[in-house]
Structure 1
């Protein structure tokens, strides 16, 4: 048993490398750098911004529809094959857009992106981490999220330089090849359905068993039917939705700075600061979730997001205060990949985790699709960024308030 436990512990980290392969690499290389391709495509074909970016609206709504089905598929079939195929589809579709000269190509790409990312973007990593890590799950989720941020931070300037030197088509082709080949290889090599399928123990199981009353593993959690009727489950979906909706506000920060006395330069610096704060925040919030529980991590994230944006809003022309606010906001921005999956596990258990979390992921996609449109409407209607800031601050406060309520109420449903 000791040998199998050691093998399982070691292989859990290889599974995490597989998660980075199908999640952090495609999203970091292409998904989070999509903005650098918009203007070159618009300039070459004479498209409006709406036409050039419509696929970004199509993608989250298609993903929202597909995610519940993706959860069932991942639970029933081998995730190594499912995630390899979804990674392959996304990579090949991205390569296709490098030759796309008509809007319909990009619109279809949005559909393919939405279907494929319903598997790998918000659902698969928490599902696999839940199976392979009996302890250290928060750290594992933090590593996966931080890897994405680091990859995106590198690929954005590199991609822009490549576009300037060789054009957007070749750059997108190269990026497409990278996110096709590397994720497929890493997923096939390292992703496995569960420790049980390999006859090994998950990471940290010895410590969990030693701490249990009878030394036997019991998979606990709420039943699906009871959970879906619970207000605490819907509150969990709101927590996840509020976090992605609020994180999307970082896209408005450069415009906020440029419209005021801080200037466009401060806005550009702020984006980098948020990414740095977010990368550090993923590790710290993941550590807090492991050490103190998901509730404490949720409270830290909610307070950080609210405090950081409050400082930025009242900073006026004081750049230092604005930058400090952006660092703190980065911790709230970082919470999306850690707090919802850990809070779901702490509140409703591991028994039916994949099926229950698929609906949480659906909520994330829905709120993601609403974010940019909502912020644009508020700012256009009021002529000010202040109401949008206040909305996001309130949402972060609600995250901090809802997190302990969800955990306390959800745990009552366990059988």
Structure 2
């Protein structure tokens, strides 16, 4: 027993694989998209609103793909599935470098989103839920932080590459680089369940003997997807995802916002690097905090904290120091989405049918992507400013506090009705 306890549990190896996969896919592809927008619109004469519609197309595909992806993860070999998904996502991103018409972005947004659903949204939470019974919040935070950590390096690097090598070559470098790094790591580290390695989830073997029965009893407790879909808690969770994703979607517009204020693309890249540093710190902080004070209180605290950077960007955007501080703090807050989203789902509905419930609930992410990103772009085109966008985000942060409170009120109704078991 003492000898086995000294060994590193394979759950941490899986987490390392997820760190590389999610970090590269998010930090190297998904969060760098906004840095290209101004250069593309100026070079090809495409309107900002028209170009950012490709994010909406990606979100529509995401919404359609989510329930399908959940079934694929349960049915097929997870490593092979992830390899195909990485090729779809990163390969499509690289193909943007060949495009001369906005229709190219619309076309390749489809396979890019299909791959991204599995790589950046579903696989991580499902695998962490399978492998960790102890420190689940911390593990989720570490995984989300990986995207921010790599983004902290890749965002400024991408900004500098666009300035020196052009946006086309930068698409090629990032897309092909992600495939070259992630595919071998996935094949070497990822396994679907502890049983495939002859293990129990991390933390199960550390439970005291007289608590073992209770842990086994509650490990798969909760409600079924059929019951969850009929509850008010489910719909308020969707609203949380909808608003939180709309809040986070502003990251694709930080670079155009900075350039519109008179900053250059290198400054915009550095500001996004600050955002990514904030994501790293925020993901770890919120994961740790949720283990200490609960996911409900942590989520509410995150929403109130978000009012600070939004207020700075409204009041003092022309100050470069304050702009960088605000973007860093903004990244700190939006880290709550990746960290707290899966944890909120588990807190509200348990583990019984987590992957199916989570796959349905995060359709709020897709809806937000369909609406928020291009709406922000069109609001900028019409008004020449992002001020109204920031006011809307301020309001959504406050409304999300209400959504969290009402979701947990809905959970109490499920418990009182005896539907949680």
CA deviation digits over 1:360-384, x for unaligned, max 9? 2221121122112333455566776
Normalised by the size of structure 2, how large is the TM-score? 0.85
* Counterpart for residue 188 of structure 1: 187
CA deviation digits over 1:32-75, x for unaligned, max 9? 22234445555665555556544333211111111111112212
Are 1:226 and 2:227 matched, yes or no?
A: yes
* Counterpart for residue 214 of structure 1: 213
**Residue 210 and residue 270 in structure 1: after superposition, are their counterparts in 2 closer, same or farther (change >3 A)?**
farther
How far did residue 329 of structure 1 move?
3.4
The count of corresponding residues between Structure 1 and Structure 2 is: 412
**Residue 321 and residue 82 in structure 1: after superposition, are their counterparts in 2 closer, same or farther (change >3 A)?**
closer
Following superposition of structure 1 onto structure 2, how do residues 329-344 of structure 1 map, counting pairs within 5 Å? Answer: 329-344=330-345
Q: Which runs of 5+ in 1 are unaligned?
A: none
* Counterpart for residue 391 of structure 1: 392
**Residue 273 and residue 216 in structure 1: after superposition, are their counterparts in 2 closer, same or farther (change >3 A)?**
closer
* Counterpart for residue 150 of structure 2: 151
Q: 1:320 and 1:138 mapped to 2: Cα distance?
A: 32
* Counterpart for residue 311 of structure 2: 310
Q: Which SS does the other structure have where 1:212 is aligned?
A: helix
Q: Which runs of 5+ in 2 are unaligned?
A: none
Q: Which SS does the other structure have where 1:148 is aligned?
A: helix
Following superposition of structure 1 onto structure 2, how do residues 292-311 of structure 1 map, counting pairs within 5 Å? Answer: 292-311=293-312
**Residue 102 and residue 259 in structure 1: after superposition, are their counterparts in 2 closer, same or farther (change >3 A)?**
closer
CA deviation digits over 1:123-179, x for unaligned, max 9? 211111111111212222222222212222322332343344444444332322211
How far did residue 12 of structure 1 move?
0.8
Normalised by the size of structure 1, how large is the TM-score? 0.86
How far did residue 347 of structure 1 move?
1.4
How far did residue 291 of structure 1 move?
1.7
* Counterpart for residue 25 of structure 1: 24
Larger deviation, residues 101-110 vs 356-365: 101-110
Q: Which SS does the other structure have where 1:220 is aligned?
A: coil
Say whether the 8 Å CA contact 1:22–1:84 is kept in structure 2.
no
* Counterpart for residue 9 of structure 2: 10
Say whether the 8 Å CA contact 1:256–1:267 is kept in structure 2.
no
* Counterpart for residue 83 of structure 1: 82
Larger deviation, residues 110-119 vs 311-320: 311-320
CA deviation digits over 1:199-222, x for unaligned, max 9? 201112234565837355132111
**Residue 405 and residue 45 in structure 1: after superposition, are their counterparts in 2 closer, same or farther (change >3 A)?**
closer
Following superposition of structure 1 onto structure 2, how do residues 31-42 of structure 1 map, counting pairs within 5 Å? Answer: 31-42=30-41
Q: Please, what is the CA RMSD of the aligned residues?
A: 3.2
Following superposition of structure 1 onto structure 2, how do residues 156-167 of structure 1 map, counting pairs within 5 Å? Answer: 156-167=155-166
Q: Which SS does the other structure have where 1:414 is aligned?
A: coil
**Residue 115 and residue 389 in structure 1: after superposition, are their counterparts in 2 closer, same or farther (change >3 A)?**
same
Following superposition of structure 1 onto structure 2, how do residues 119-158 of structure 1 map, counting pairs within 5 Å? Answer: 119-158=118-157
Q: Which SS does the other structure have where 1:19 is aligned?
A: helix
Q: 1:197 and 1:92 mapped to 2: Cα distance?
A: 30
* Counterpart for residue 357 of structure 1: 358
* Counterpart for residue 283 of structure 1: 284
**Residue 17 and residue 356 in structure 1: after superposition, are their counterparts in 2 closer, same or farther (change >3 A)?**
same
Larger deviation, residues 165-174 vs 345-354: 165-174
Q: 1:96 and 1:257 mapped to 2: Cα distance?
A: 27
Q: 2:134 and 2:65 mapped to 1: Cα distance?
A: 30
Q: 2:38 and 2:322 mapped to 1: Cα distance?
A: 32
Larger deviation, residues 311-320 vs 20-29: 311-320
Say whether the 8 Å CA contact 2:23–2:147 is kept in structure 1.
yes
Q: 1:39 and 1:307 mapped to 2: Cα distance?
A: 27
How far did residue 272 of structure 1 move?
4.4
